[in-house]
Copies of this chain bind each other. A is one copy, B any other.
Amino acid sequence: MSVQHTGPDSLLTPSEVASLFRVDPKTVTRWAKAGKLSAVRTLGGHRRYLESEVRDLLAGVPRQRPED
């Protein structure tokens, strides 16, 4: 039996994230490129986003920023 890890990092596709934010998928890509959103890459280069992080962002939770 395998135990579920503490961090269930379910992934979202670009279009799914885009729909949640009511934005074009390309915009989500820009956020990832800008480091505003962390992304996992498929072996083909497509991005998958952490659902937990997206939910936090949608809820208005500010992302951990490098010290100013």
Interface residues of A (CB under 8 A from B): 10-13, 21-23, 27, 31, 36-37, 40-44, 48, 57-58, 60
Q: Which 7 A/B pairs are nearest by Cβ-Cβ distance?
A: A11-B22, A36-B43, A22-B48, A31-B43, A21-B42, A23-B42, A40-B58
18 extra A-B contacts, CB within 8 A, seeds A27-B42, A31-B44, A37-B43: A10-B22, A11-B21, A11-B22, A12-B22, A13-B22, A21-B40, A21-B42, A21-B43, A21-B48, A22-B42, A22-B48, A23-B42, A27-B44, A31-B43, A36-B43, A40-B60, A41-B60, A43-B57
A5 to chain B, nearest CB (A): 11
